[in-house]
Amino acid sequence: MNQKKLSIKNLTITLPQGSDRKYAVNDVSLDLYANEILCIVGESGSGKSLLSNAIMGLLPDGVTASQGKIDFDGNNLLTYNDEQMRKIRGAHIGMVFQDPMTALNPLKTIANQISEMFTIHTNLSKKDINQKVISLLTDVQMPNPISVANAYPHQLSGGQRQRTMIAMALALEPAILIADEPTTALDVTTQACILKLISELQSRKGTAVLFITHDFGVVADIATRVAVMQQGQIVEQGVAEELLNHPNHHYTQGLIAAVPPLTPGDVRLINKEIILEVNNLSKVYHKSSFFKKNRRTTYAVNDVSFKLHKGSTLGIVGESGSGKSTLARCIIKLLEIDSGQIHFEKEDISNLKGNKLKHYARHIQMVFQDPYASLNPRRKVGDQVTIGPILHGITKQDAIKKAKELFNMVGLESEALNRYPHEFSGGQRQRIGLARALALEPKILIADEPVSALDVSVQAQVLELLSELRKKLGLTVLFITHDLRVAAQICDHILVMKSGKIVEQGIASQVFLNPSQPYTKNLLAAVPGKGWNPPRLIDMSPAIHI
């Protein structure tokens, strides 16, 4: 048995008065050993992140560890003051946070931020520190580490910022690395690189890794052991392979059952009628220096053409920056195109203005990625659902009646119309976003990463709801995602984008089972847990034409 690096005994974390629950973490005991990756999984609100924050002495104001102990190197970390914890953080326990953009200082270069680890905890010379910085950036496989060291966070990609966080966390070779959802917002290829990097560093240095995630594919790829949390308690823990394939607790079974498999189902019959046709569409951005030299041209969307069949779901997949969301915003007329045509029901709507654009807009509506940012926090959700129909001439009374029907349709009580967005969970907000988009009875629904911010069980509920709405209302769906498991289950056709261009498109089963392009093959190869197929949840099938 490897050496025990951390031992949590009967830990209870108490929330402030007035919270929905009394305890965020309730009587949790957990051991972490050297040279292992222990994954903690569970839905939002299960207590995963607060557990890691308690280890680091970073609990929010009003949240207290009221019971238990966290034993590290023979000492109870819960008894340490701020000065003592500062000596532990970084030097002995490193942490990689979920959002590197908020964790990094936007006013300091990458080199300065990594250097601080050595300046605070060591007596190394400036020359030695600079060499250490470059060495760390090289260790985390950063391209052109010298250039990256001199850059600011906003000049790096999401994957590069996350690698920087890992470099900082490992700078002083801590005995323990805590990674809190470090790959949630990343593309599958970048995610695969980060997971491989953490696994290799852990293996090479014998580090004990506490990895927090809600992605069971990630768990299948890297975990040695798994602990499952629900409402502040550990309901099941064990060796990863055994728990993933033979879960005992009903909550674990439900979470695993909610993970969509990567293989598309049986072929589904759809209509041959074309409702939307895009021809040679391009969106270009130009950037010039102050003196207008070295003008740089970026094709966000480059000569894209495709057809959308009535009643079908077309999935657009690809990495960040591939042009997926820009293409959607061009179709919905949030962005002006530079060239090409967009035909809706055989009418060219590329250059529509005024009332004609208003008439078109009601037929194509959008559900946005972030269920928190897409709703106005100062207005009741009922007002936000009814405003569209009212602007298009429907009376307020009829709009409210319609909103109540829509809320019932998406699984919400009609009384919820009088509440504000902050009173709802993320999954409920996404349902409100769906109701708002459907209020104008659109013919096409554009869903831009609608489930990427949701837990796996809530994600399954929203996907099932989309499936039911499509059948009930005859919707045509343009579904944008970087989650290939989701795309495999809900999409009839797949369109793969890279650097603004379509590199492959076809029926979902064809693209997933027999991809023709190296880029598509690389995307599929990078899907976490691709060798592990959980039970199928949603009966969605790819299409053949009738």
Domains of the chain: 274-287+294-363+442-526 (3.40.50.300)
Looking at residue 541, its pLDDT comes to: 41
Q: Helix axis angle, 381-391 relative to 396-409, nearest 10°?
A: 120
Q: Is 211 exposed, middle or buried (0-12, 13-18, 19+ CB in 10 A)?
A: buried
Could you tell me where the beta strands, DSSP code E, fall in 225-318?
A: 225-230, 233-239, 268-270, 274-287, 296-309, 313-317
162 with 169: CB under 8 angstroms? no
Pairing of strands 444-448, 476-481: parallel
Cβ atoms of 269 and 543 closer than 8 Å: yes
CB 414 within 8 A of CB 404: yes
Show pLDDT as tens, one digit a residue, over the chain (546 residues).
578 999 999 999 999 887 778 999 999 999 999 999 999 999 888 899 899 999 999 999 999 999 999 999 899 999 999 999 999 998 899 998 877 777 889 999 999 999 998 998 889 999 999 999 999 898 887 888 999 999 999 888 777 888 888 888 888 888 999 998 887 767 788 788 888 888 887 888 888 999 998 889 899 999 999 999 999 999 999 999 999 999 999 999 999 988 888 888 766 777 889 999 999 999 998 776 555 556 678 889 999 999 999 999 999 999 888 899 899 999 998 899 999 999 999 889 888 888 888 888 889 999 887 777 788 999 999 999 999 999 888 899 999 999 998 888 888 888 889 999 888 877 788 889 888 988 988 999 999 888 876 778 878 888 888 888 888 888 999 999 888 988 998 899 999 999 999 999 999 999 999 999 999 999 999 998 888 877 544 444 444 443
What integer pLDDT is reported at residue 417 of this predicted model? Answer: 93
Residues with Cβ < 8 Å from 435, sequence gap 6 or more? 385, 403, 406, 407, 409, 410, 412
pTM, rounded to two decimals: 0.80
**Number of neighbours of residue 540 by Cβ within 10 angstroms:** 24
Using CA atoms, how far apart are residues 405 and 424, in angstroms rounded to an integer? 19
Helices (H) and strands (E) in the chain, counts: 20, 22
Which H or E run contains 8? Answer: strand 4-14
- Contact criterion met (CB below 8 Å) for 386 and 399: yes
- Parallel/antiparallel/unpaired status of strands 493-498 and 501-507: antiparallel
Q: What are phi and psi of 477, to 5 degrees?
A: -120, 130
Structure tokens that stand for 526 in this block: 């990078």
pLDDT of 150 reads: 93
pLDDT for residue 292: 53
Length of the chain: 546
Residue 321, CA distances (Å) to 5, 500, 505 in order: 40, 8, 18
Q: What is the pLDDT of residue 189?
A: 82
